[in-house]
């Protein structure tokens, strides 16, 4: 291992600011203290959903204990308070993504709904028969199926940018696919199945040089990297609260204001209107035009608390710590005889996906579970990626900043146990 | 480890390593496909059914040790059995892998399939063990559709 990795892989990381102490971080996550099957829980499934710091749990509890009320309509004290907390969260998300205004932040149920919103509203407005939509070969099903539905509805064609054997996006192939027919590009920032960090700034630039708008699926990126939509200049960016240490059931769509203004509503109902008669309805301004019905108020406020918490820890320090941990995990796991890593991109975040010779991933998952180790096995909602690598299923350990080298050691012991059992 | 040994008994590991009847069946007159979307298990069951008797049976596909061994041992135990016997054994097998831990089984009734009684302690793996049987059922019934565990 290179010296630089050894330094970064240490559980205590000194930086320009306060030292990063993973044991202190773990104190903030009550769920991590438990035992599973008699063993200390080793949670390596944060890419599926992250654990929640106590401050997020407390914020949601406090909302229901003392602040519960509907937003944007009540004249009473509680409603005003809830509305303020909800809109404060919107401002926090805008700052978190470096959006130019909070109006560009739409709350939905998750990244999946966010992509569906863009496909159904922006996509339908923009795409017609014969047009092309470009995605990549490493997309999650949530960034494939909404576009397939749109293609079926409009007669547009889906184009797929291939990846290489390391699981890297092939920029040259992308350049060839971009054409006057291209109406939209939608690409994942960090692959959930491979961990690859895509060159999204470049991807956006290349599309924009042809006047093509770009959506970035940031579900796996937001918890690990500093995301700056201003710098990326992407047209849309989506992520899920529950992968960002916030509550489930909340997602975010960032959209450039002029796009959101031009787009038709996604769903109709209360809160998205200015006035309704049976003859004509006037829609509300952005972002409310896209937020029909009572939203997940507690969840949105909880997301705000999660962002405050991350600000306190510092995403730059999180990224530095995780990159050391990833290097440690990559080396340790790949050293086990019979292990083959799937996804070995140069630029990677937080994910170690592997197969073990002669053992199906599902069996690995069960055996590790008996050791208290939680990983994801299967196709990770990215079946085309597995087809690309010719494997029916993989095992995925995904890391967060509350994981330790000790937990990686436990994972490696667990994998060795699998090998022993299957002989 | 003791729980794991209950699940991964030697006979299961053996059938996983060297699955029996693991090929396409020449002269098959019934086939069905089974799929477990949760973990990506996929298998095809081939049957040659003559006068209500299973004259030939085989399978192909990919899956975890539990599903592969289950398919292998299913094919080994059904050759020459009547359709009714096969359905009855499926019912017994299904009861065995889903029953309460206190329930014991007559070894004569389940035979070698008793190796799968440990699956009861791993509820998420029940689908793996039963997928081949559900697929067999579809082939016997000539349902002509893909069986899914979801």
Predicted confidence (pLDDT) per residue in A247-259, tens digit = 999 999 999 999 9
Cα–Cα distance between A325 and A331 in angstroms, integer? 10
Give me the total of CB pairs closer than 8 Å, taking one residue from chain A and one from chain B: 54
Q: B107 to chain A nearest CA, in Å?
A: 26
Distance from CA of A111 to the nearest CA of B (A): 21
Q: What is the pLDDT of residues A27-73, one digit of tens each?
A: 999 999 999 999 999 999 999 999 999 999 999 999 999 999 999 87
- What pLDDT band is residue A1 in, cutting at 50, 70 and 90? very low
Domains, chain A, in order of start with CATH, read 12-52+314-421 (3.90.1150.10), 57-311 (3.40.640.10)
Q: Which residue of A has its CA nearest to B63?
A: A360
Which residues in chain B have Cβ-Cβ distances shorter than 8 Å to A360?
39, 62-65, 68
The mean pLDDT of A315-342, rounded to a whole number, is 96
> Which of A48, A353, A358, A362 should one mutate to test binding to chain B, selecting the residue with the greatest count of B CBs within 10 A?
A362
How many Å apart are CA A101 and CA A91, to the nearest integer?
Answer: 8
Find the CATH number of the domain harbouring B65.
Answer: 3.90.1010.10
B116 is a domain residue: yes
- Asked if omega into A287 is within 30° of 0 (cis), the reply is yes
pLDDT of residue A44: 98
Cα(A414)–Cα(A368) distance, integer angstroms: 6
Distance of CA B8 to the CA centre of its chain: 15
Contact: A392, B40; criterion CB under 8 Å:
yes
Distance in Å, alpha carbon of B130 to nearest chain A alpha carbon: 15
In a domain, B150, yes or no: no
CA–CA gap between residue A77 and residue A194 (Å, rounded): 48
Which of B17, B40, B63 faces A379 most closely, judged by CB atoms? B40
CA atoms of B148 and A318, how far apart (whole Å): 41
Report chain B residues whose CB lies below 8 A from the CB of A421: 4, 8, 13
User: Quick one: pLDDT at residue B106?
Assistant: 76
For the cut 90, the answer to whether the pLDDT of residue A381 exceeds it is no
Which residues of B fall within a CB distance of 8 Å from A392?
40-42, 62-63
- Answer whether residue A23 shows pLDDT above 70: yes
Q: Which residues of B touch A393 (CB under 8 A)?
A: 39-40
Residue pLDDT tens, chain B, 150 long:
467 888 999 999 999 999 999 999 999 999 999 998 776 789 999 999 999 999 999 999 999 999 999 999 999 999 999 999 999 999 999 999 998 877 777 777 788 899 998 899 898 899 999 999 999 999 998 766 667 766
Contacts of B38 in chain A (CB under 8 A): 378
Nearest by Cα to B129 from B3, B9, B2, B1: B9
Q: Percentage of residues in chain A with pLDDT exceeding 90?
A: 88
Query: How confident is the prediction for chain A on average, in pLDDT?
Result: 94
Say which residue the tokens 């069960």 belong to: A366
State the catalytic residue, choosing from A133, A260, A326, A381. A381
A390 dihedral zone (left: phi>0; alpha: psi -120 to 50; beta): left
- Which pLDDT band, with edges at 50, 70 and 90, does A12 fall under? low
Please enumerate in sequence order all residues whose Cβ is within 8 A of that of A186, keeping only pairs 6 or more positions apart, or say none: A115, A118, A133, A134, A135, A139, A143, A147, A214, A215, A216, A217
> Does residue A6 have a pLDDT over 80?
no
Confidence of residue A9 (pLDDT cuts 50, 70, 90): very low
Domain that holds residue B81: 2-145
Q: Measure CB to CB from residue A370 to each of B4, B38, B40 and give the nearest one.
A: B4
Whether A234 is catalytic: no
The span from the CA of A392 to the CA of B39, in Å, is: 8
Contact A422 B13 (CB under 8 A): yes
Which carries the bigger pLDDT value, residue A17 or residue B45?
Answer: B45
State the nearest Cα–Cα gap between A352 and chain B, in angstroms. 18
Q: Cβ–Cβ of B38/A378 closer than 8 Å?
A: yes
Number of domains in chain B: 1
Q: How far is A3 from chain B (nearest CA, A)?
A: 37
Instruction: Tell me the shortest Cα–Cα distance from A359 to chain B, in angstroms.
Output: 7
CB A364 within 8 A of CB A373: no
For residue A417, list chain B residues with Cβ-Cβ distance below 8 A: 1
In this complex, the residue of B3, B8, B128 whose CB is nearest that of residue A362 is B128
Q: What is the DSSP letter of A197?
A: B
Least confident interval from A202-206, A316-320, A377-381: A377-381
Nearest CB among A366, A393, A421 relative to B40 is that of A393
In this predicted structure, what is the pLDDT of residue A392? 85
Residue of A nearest to B61 (CA): A392
User: What is the rounded average pLDDT of the residues A344-370?
Assistant: 95
Query: Nearest to residue A80, comparing CAs of A88, A72, A91?
Result: A72
The verdict on a CB contact (< 8 Å) between B65 and A359 is: yes
Does the distance separating the beta carbons of A361 and B64 come in below 8 Å? yes
- Can you list the positions of beta strands (E) in A152-203? 157-161, 182-188
Residues of A in contact with B62 (CB under 8 A): 360, 392
């Amino acid at each position: 291992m290179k010296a630089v990795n050894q330094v970064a892989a240490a559980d205590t990381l000194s930086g320009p600011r306060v030292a990063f102490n993973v044991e202190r971080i773990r104190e903030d996550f009550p769920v991590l203290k438990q035992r599973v099957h008699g063993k200390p829980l080793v949670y390596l499934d944060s890419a599926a959903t992250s654990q929640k710091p106590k401050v997020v749990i407390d914020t949601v509890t406090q909302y229901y204990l003392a602040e519960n009320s509907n937003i944007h309509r009540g004249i009473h004290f509680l409603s005003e308070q809830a509305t303020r907390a909800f809109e404060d969260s919107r401002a926090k998300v805008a700052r978190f993504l470096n959006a130019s205004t909070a109006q560009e932040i739409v709350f939905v149920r998750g990244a999946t709904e966010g992509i569906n919103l863009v496909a159904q509203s922006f996509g339908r407005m923009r795409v017609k028969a014969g047009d092309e939509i470009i995605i990549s070969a490493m997309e999650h099903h949530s960034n494939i199926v909404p576009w397939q539905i749109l293609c079926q509805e409009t007669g547009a064609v889906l184009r797929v940018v291939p990846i290489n054997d390391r699981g890297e996006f092939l920029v040259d192939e992308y350049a060839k696919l971009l054409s006057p027919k291209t109406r939209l590009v939608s690409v994942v920032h960090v692959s959930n199945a491979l961990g690859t960090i895509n060159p999204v700034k470049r991807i956006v630039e290349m599309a924009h040089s042809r006047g093509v708008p770009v959506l970035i699926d940031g579900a796996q990126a937001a918890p690990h990297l500093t995301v700056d939509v201003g710098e990326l200049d992407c047209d849309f960016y989506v992520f899920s609260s529950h992968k960002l240490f916030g509550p489930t059931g909340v997602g975010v769509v960032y959209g450039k204001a002029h796009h959101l203004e031009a787009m038709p509503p996604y769903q109709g109902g209360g809160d998205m209107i200015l006035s309704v008669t049976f003859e004509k309805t006037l829609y509300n301004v952005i972002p409310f035009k896209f937020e029909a019905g009572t939203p997940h108020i507690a969840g949105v406020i909880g997301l705000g608390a999660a962002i405050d918490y991350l600000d306190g820890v510092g995403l730059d320090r999180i990224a530095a710590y995780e990159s050391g941990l990833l290097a440690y995990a990559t080396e340790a796991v790949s050293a086990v005889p019979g292990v083959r890593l799937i996804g070995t991109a140069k630029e990677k975040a937080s994910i170690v996906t592997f197969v073990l010779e002669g053992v199906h991933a599902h069996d690995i998952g069960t055996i590790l579970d008996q050791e208290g180790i939680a990983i994801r096995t299967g196709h990770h909602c990215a079946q085309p990626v597995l087809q690309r690598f010719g494997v029916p299923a993989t095992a995925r350990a995904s890391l967060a900043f509350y994981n330790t080298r000790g937990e990686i050691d436990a994972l490696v012991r667990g994998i060795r146990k699998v090998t022993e059992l299957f002989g | 480890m003791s729980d794991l040994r209950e699940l991964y008994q030697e006979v299961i590991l053996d059938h996983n390593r060297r699955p029996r009847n693991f090929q396409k069946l020449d002269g098959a007159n019934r086939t069905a496909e089974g799929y477990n979307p949760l973990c990506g298990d996929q298998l095809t069951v081939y049957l040659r059914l003559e006068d209500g008797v299973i004259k030939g049976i085989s399978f192909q596909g990919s899956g975890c040790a539990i599903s592969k061994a289950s398919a292998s041992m299913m094919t080994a135990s059904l050759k020459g059995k009547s359709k009714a016997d096969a359905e009855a054994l499926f019912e017994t097998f299904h009861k065995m892998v889903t029953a309460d831990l206190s329930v014991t089984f007559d070894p004569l009734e389940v035979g070698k399939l008793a190796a799968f009684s440990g699956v009861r302690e791993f509820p998420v793996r029940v689908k793996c063990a039963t997928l081949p049987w559900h697929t067999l059922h579809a082939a016997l019934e000539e349902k002509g559709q893909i069986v899914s565990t979801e």
